[in-house]
Amino acid sequence: MRAPSIAMFSRSAEIKAAPDIEAAALRSDRFRLKREGEWQRLENILKELEKGRLRKLSDDDVLALPTLYRMAASSLAVARETSLDASTLAYLESLVQRAWFQVYGPRLGLMAWMRKFLGGQLSRSIQAIWLDICVALFVMVAGTVTGWLLVSRNVEWYYALVPGQFTDSRVPGASREVLLETLKVEDSAQGMSAFAAQLFANNAGVSILAFALGFAFGIPSLMLLVHNMAVLGAMLWLYSSQDLTWEFIAWLSVHGTTELFAILLAGAAGLHIGRKMAFPGQKSILASAAESGQRAAQVMVGVVTMLIFAALLEAFPRQLAGTEARAIIGTFMLIFWLAYFFGFGRRGKYPKIDEAAL
């Protein structure tokens, strides 16, 4: 009987390992040879698409692209499951990623997307939430009236509604001259840029909050709108008490028609999501929330754009222009937004979300 030695163990390991490696190599080769034709055809199609040569592809190749993509993805899954060689895995992962981009990836560049978005898609998204806009507008008007009535009956409500930053000299009992001083025209635009940035941050915070609270069926969004507009109603009463209604409205309208419109759209977008989740109709709640969320997100992009305009108007024309000029600018901006949102892009059709893809 032979005594065991280290040489015997090492030789045995070599003898056992060789068939495994050889079998794996054969299995990988067979797997690759069996599907190599499909992969090569898919790669040739991708090369033409990546070079922008769609017209050089035949109809059969274009129609076969989704099928070839799914077959390559299936091959990748099998290759990962059976631990095929690393080069095959790397090749398939690259091929599948390139194919996914061509089949499902975005087709538009940034400039093309901007033209499409501003050329009607934003307007159609806003038109699609018209019911929520009507509800939010009603709530905002009701909030303004409520603020006016509360303060007119008891001035203590003014201090409860109006934030401290507005109660410097703008308080009940202030003289007409003092209130008129707060509406005065500035001598220069020095330092207005920083002021505009501060206003944008503040207004954006209110708008985003009104939108974000919409998930709770829109109720918090409506409450936020009521509170903010009650502040406006209280201040409107204050200036009206000193016969400065026209001056205050002109001072407010130069930026307010843009700013309040943006807040209205933000609240309506939040309400839209909440309403669609509460009443999804024939769709699932998830599909309804996804569709309304996509539409509301597009509205919010428009809201942010409007807030940038509002901050610039509030920092410059409101501070530098007279009462008549303020009123004219504010009226023009209101007409512009109404014409753009509701008179433009009406022929397009809003794209639907594929519920099966959710």
Q: What is the pLDDT of residues 214-241, one digit of tens each?
A: 767 778 888 888 888 898 899 899 999 9
Least confident of 43-57, 115-129, 149-163, 179-193: 179-193
What is the number of other CB atoms lying within 10 angstroms of the CB of residue 348? 14
Quickly list H helices, 105-218.
110-116, 122-128, 130-153, 156-161, 176-181, 192-212
Question: How crowded is the C-beta side of 67, counted as CA atoms within 13 Å?
Answer: 7
Please tell me whether residues 93 and 214 are part of one structural domain.
no
DSSP structure class, residue 120: I
pLDDT, tens digit (0-9, with 9 covering 90-100), for 299-331: 988 998 898 888 888 777 777 778 888 889 989
Say if 352 falls within a structural domain. Answer: no
Domain end point (choices 37, 70, 105): 105
Q: Does 257 score more than 80 pLDDT?
A: yes
Torsion angle in degrees (nearest 10) through CA of 72, 76, 77, 78: 100
CA 197 – CA 310 distance, rounded (Å): 11
Domain of residue 86 covers 19-105
Please tell me whether residues 208 and 136 are part of one structural domain.
yes
Say if 4 falls within a structural domain. Answer: no
Least confident of 43-52, 131-140, 179-188, 190-199: 190-199
Identify which has the larger pLDDT, 351 or 274: 274
> What rounded mean pLDDT belongs to the chain?
80
What pLDDT score was predicted for residue 223? 86
Say if 132 falls within a structural domain. Answer: yes
Say if 277 falls within a structural domain. Answer: yes
Please tell me whether residues 93 and 125 are part of one structural domain.
no
DSSP structure class, residue 165: G
pTM recorded for the entire structure: 0.67
Q: Number of structural domains, the chain? A: 2
CA 320 – CA 340 distance, rounded (Å): 27
Please tell me whether residues 274 and 140 are part of one structural domain.
yes
Instruction: Specify whether the CB–CB gap between 263 and 210 falls below 8 A.
Output: yes
Say if 9 falls within a structural domain. Answer: no
Quickly list H helices, 241-347.
245-278, 285-315, 317-320, 323-342
Say if 358 falls within a structural domain. Answer: no
Please tell me whether residues 46 and 118 are part of one structural domain.
no
